[in-house]
Amino acid sequence: MDDVQTRLTETSQNCLTAYEAWEGQKQDKKAQEELHSAIHELRKVSSRLEIDLAISERETSTAKPLPIPSHKSSNKNSGISILDNGAGSADSGSQTIVQKAAPRRRRAPRKPQS
């Protein structure tokens, strides 16, 4: 974390210096390019910090199992059910998918044309 902290301190200071230089001379192309470069470096450091934050959140959140959503846990109205076939080894994890046949719908009778 020290690497990210030092990079964040240095790049934010460089960005502030470039901003102050650009603020004094807004028409100067070199000052504008230096500010763009400093902003880009600051974005790279903030992206690294965001990645580190996501990694630390993942490490703490994997201890809790994720609950199965209610729409996934009840298969009452779905047209597909997953059945364990019981054959094969436990580590293969093979399951068969069975498609239930939907009842056929009939067309309404045609209205007589007048």
Number of domains the chain contains: 1
Domain residue limits at 28: 2-61
Has residue 94 got a pLDDT over 70? no
Collect contacts of 51-58 with beta carbons under 8 A, ≥24 apart: 52/1, 52/4
The answer to whether residue 107 is domain-embedded is no
The answer to whether residue 57 is domain-embedded is yes
The answer to whether residue 36 is domain-embedded is yes
Has residue 21 got a pLDDT over 70? yes
DSSP structural state of residue 82: E
For residue 48 the two structure tokens come to 């690294």
Collect contacts of 29-36 with beta carbons under 8 A, ≥24 apart: none
Residue 63: predicted pLDDT: 61
Sign of CA dihedral 88, 70, 81, 99: negative
Has residue 92 got a pLDDT over 80? no
Has residue 20 got a pLDDT over 60? yes
Has residue 23 got a pLDDT over 70? yes
The answer to whether residue 13 is domain-embedded is yes
Has residue 9 got a pLDDT over 80? yes
For residue 47 the two structure tokens come to 């992206």
For residue 110 the two structure tokens come to 């045609």
What is the pLDDT of the chain when averaged over all its residues? 79
Percent of the chain with pLDDT over 90: 37
